[in-house]
Amino acid sequence: MAHAQPLPILLTALGIIIVAGTTSFAQQTVTPFPQPQLLPQTSTYTTCTLGCDMQAMGCQSQCVPIGPFATSSAATSQCPLSCATQQLVCKQNCR
């Protein structure tokens, strides 16, 4: 008789799980995000702007004094500003 008591408790627990599992929830419709429209990897605009960036990097490298006898006149704020201006004008002409 010691084993007769756990069986009703087990059946009651299973009944609760089965009843709880039959509850239906309202269906929700999920709309997917639209796919992004990517530019071609080798567009003429990209090639042009990369060329402008390369020119600007060369210009910026000339603004930094190198060596023990380098003067600081090349490192003035006008040199990097001039390089940035040239880069901007170059990129504006990329169309």
pLDDT tens string 23-41: 555 677 888 888 887 766 6
- CA 63/CA 8 separation, integer angstroms: 87
| N-terminal to C-terminal alpha carbon distance within the chain | 91
**Would the pTM count as exceeding 0.85?**
no
Whether residue 85 is predicted with pLDDT greater than 90 in this model: the reply is yes
Residues in the chain: 95
Q: Enumerate the domain spans of the chain.
A: 41-95
Q: How confident is the model at residue 10 (pLDDT cuts 50, 70, 90)?
A: low
| More confident call, 30 vs 48 | 48
- CA 73/CA 79 separation, integer angstroms: 9
Tens digits of per-residue pLDDT, 53-66? Answer: 999 999 999 888 77
